[in-house]
Amino acid sequence: MSGNHEKRAFKYRFYPTGAQAAELSRTFGCVRKVYNLALGARTEAWTRQERVNYNATSAMLTAWKKTEEPAFLNDVSSVPLQQTLRHLQTAFTHFFAKRAKYPRFKSRKKSRKSAEYTTSGFRFRADGRLTLAKMADPLDIVWSRPLPEGAEPSTVTVSQDAAGRWFVSLLCEDPAIKPLPAADEAVGVDVGLDHLLTLSTGEKVASPRHERRDRARLARAQRELSRKAAGDGANRRKARRKVARVHARIADRRRDHLHKLTTRLVRENQTIVIEDLAVRNMVRDHTTARAVSDAAWAEFRRLLEYKAVWYGREVIAVDRFFPSSRLCSACGTLQGKMPLSVRTWTCACGTRHDRDTNAARNLLAGLAASACGAGVRPQRSTPGGQSATKQETPRRKP
């Protein structure tokens, strides 16, 4: 391929044989072990005011393989072990640049089960057969959608989720990722709980409430789990997996819905104006945390931003202190305090407003004054050091 295209990860479900599942499970364990050993070594060096880089941890890996205790590292492919050292190096790079917290050790029960293979660790055939290192047979992949014509994966990531499902993600260049024809449209987007999105055009997108639809099923599965004896017994593992399957079902539906929404917004509009929300602080309020989490505003913004970059669109985040709900979009008059129970109101100029539609229109109209001009504005803090939260979030039980 030309190498000038953006890369996209194509994720598929697959069904491993017993031998493949055992090999991958060993690999996941070794990846976690190497990551923790390297993190421990780097942390110890950090206390001595020394820095250990990727090359040093790679040399440590060679030494660990020669010792008696972690000699089992020789039983799996070395490629994912080297990759986890590179991921650790990236984590430290973000830490030193103050973009992330200090890396944490991986837990056997809670950490994600995954392994990444570069081109030396797998063989991919044009007919779709993918064979990983240390395996004799190709993976039984369900090709739910085709790869780009002539695609050659640069990395392959194999993972298993909490529900026991196996996935393989292939990173390929995708010629379909290119700027769309310029559009004249711009839209303001106000997010909420009763309505997931309200657009400045007046359109409202109802909240699907994916979690609420399966709440009874989830509660039943959680009750069954709570009755199982503590520990790591077979019955408790089965009950835990049943809970995970319900969560996976909810997450899959939510992700699919958000993908369709964000793709539509990016295709139809050149500029999309949203509000810069402190979602992490909002979920601390127990009265609305469940509904806010189910709405997945942070995931909506993440999808919107990377798709805008792919297709040559612009996403602008207006400062959360901008009084979008209390400002008349017709005459610009700022209203006084407005209880959250007030969903419609009439301005002194005689214009009657729907609260959410008015907010979306004000976000669009106020982008020049309240947003950074070239991209997404970072979050800011109140004078007291606490990040502000969305003023429109109703305080009610989800």
Distances (CA, A) of 167 to 112, 158, 175, 302: 12, 6, 24, 22
Please give the DSSP secondary-structure letter assigned to residue 385: S
Please identify which of the residues 23, 174, 275, 294 carries the catalytic annotation. 275
Task: Collapse the DSSP code of 257 into the 3-class scheme (helix H, G, I; strand E, B; otherwise coil) and give the result.
Answer: helix
Return left, alpha or beta for 220; rule: phi > 0 is left, psi -120 to 50 is alpha, else beta: alpha
Cα–Cα distance measured from residue 154 to residue 39, given in angstroms and rounded to the nearest whole number? 26
Indicate which residue of 23, 294, 314, 356 is catalytic. 356
The question of whether 149 is a catalytic residue gets the answer no
φ, ψ for residue 23 (rounded to 5)?
-65, -45
- Which is catalytic among the residues 23, 190, 211, 392? 190
| Burial class of residue 295 in the structure, from the number of CB atoms within 10 Å of its CB (0-12 exposed, 13-18 middle, 19+ buried) | buried
Q: Catalytic: 275? A: yes
Q: How far is CA 12 from CA 79, 146, 171, 176, 244, in A?
A: 21, 10, 12, 19, 19
| 190 catalytic per annotation | yes
Q: Token digits for 36?
A: 């923790």
The Cα-based distances of 31 to 24, 58, 81, 110, 231 in angstroms read: 10, 13, 5, 14, 24
Query: Could you write out the DSSP letters of every residue in 172-235?
Result: EE-TT-SPPPP---EEEEEE-SSEEEEETTS-EEE---HHHHTHHHHHHHHHHHHHSPSSS-HH
Integer CA distances (angstroms), 248 to 219, 244, 252, 253, 255, in order: 14, 6, 6, 9, 10
Separation CA 236–CA 225 (nearest Å):
6
Active site amino acids: 190, 275, 356
